[in-house]
């Protein structure tokens, strides 16, 4: 668990309890590496497609689809990384007016609400992927990608966000229980 307190735009450092993050674990580090890899693959595919179209007057016909799937995976897998680094959801208008303990409590409440919503989305994404698996749905494209593949990355990414939210809540609760918020 780390506390990161970079100076704000006006040069005034935020209160020490404002940005409490659990820090990244091996899971978030792996997700971050996978996201970076997906980004590089997308760039290479797009560049290859541009070269093929401009120099050889041909197209791979799959670049849009594959890059779309990679973007979906990148988006969902990066959510736990963002949470672990404290890059999500802060309502500074409210947070700035609260005491340190009040900030932690409001962050815990918001994290709990986020966790409940994320669990519901995870459950529905799992159901969607399972339904696509059982019905053998494929994309109506030349690749005919099984739809459960990108849908699984969405469910996995949301599940990892849920774990990151739980870790963040535990870190904040630990600080709050120590009374180290003044």
**Residuewise pLDDT in 10s, the chain (182 residues):** 444 445 544 454 554 445 566 677 899 999 999 999 999 999 999 999 999 999 999 999 999 999 999 999 999 999 999 998 888 767 778 788 888 888 889 889 999 999 999 999 999 999 999 999 999 999 999 999 999 999 999 999 999 999 999 999 999 999 988 875 45
The secondary structure of residue 12, as a DSSP letter, is P
CA separation for the pair 104, 1 (Å, rounded): 15
Residue with the two structure tokens 């970076």: 36
Q: What is the pLDDT of residue 93?
A: 80
Q: Alpha-carbon distance 68 to 170, whole Å?
A: 35
Burial state string for 115-132 with b = 16 or more CB within 10 A and e = fewer than 16: beebeebbeebbebbeeb
CA dist., res. 106 & res. 104, Å (int):
5
pLDDT computed for residue 23 by the predictor: 72
Find all residues with CB under 8 Å of 141, minimum gap 6, and list them: 62, 65
pLDDT score at 87: 82
Could you give the CA distance from residue 93 to residue 82 in angstroms, rounded to a whole number?
Answer: 21
**d(C-alpha 63, C-alpha 80), whole Å:** 27
Q: What's the whole-model pTM score? A: 0.84
User: Would residue 179 be called left, alpha or beta, if left means φ above 0 and alpha means ψ between -120 and 50 degrees?
Assistant: left
Residue 150 CA, chain-centre distance (Å), reads 15
- pLDDT on residue 57: 92
179 three-class SS:
coil
Domain boundaries, the chain: 23-178
Nearest in space to 95 (alpha carbons), one of 83, 86, 82, 105: 105
């Amino acid at each position: 668990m780390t506390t990161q307190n970079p100076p704000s735009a006006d040069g005034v450092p935020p209160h020490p309890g404002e940005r409490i993050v659990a820090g990244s674990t091996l899971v978030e580090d792996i997700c971050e590496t996978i996201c970076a890899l997906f980004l590089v693959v997308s760039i290479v595919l797009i560049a290859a497609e541009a070269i093929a179209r401009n120099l050889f007057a041909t197209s791979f016909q799959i670049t849009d689809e594959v890059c779309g799937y990679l973007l979906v995976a990148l988006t969902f897998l990066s959510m736990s990384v963002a949470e672990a680094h404290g890059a999500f959801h802060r309502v500074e208008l409210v947070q700035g007016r609260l005491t340190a303990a009040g900030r932690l409590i409001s962050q815990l409440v918001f994290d709990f609400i986020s966790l409940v919503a994320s669990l519901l989305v995870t459950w529905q994404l799992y159901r969607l992927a399972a339904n696509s698996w059982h019905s053998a749905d494929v994309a109506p494209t030349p690749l005919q990608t099984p739809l459960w593949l990108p849908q699984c990355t969405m469910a996995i990414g949301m599940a990892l966000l849920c774990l990151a939210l739980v870790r963040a809540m535990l870190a904040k609760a630990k600080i709050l229980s120590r009374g180290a918020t003044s």
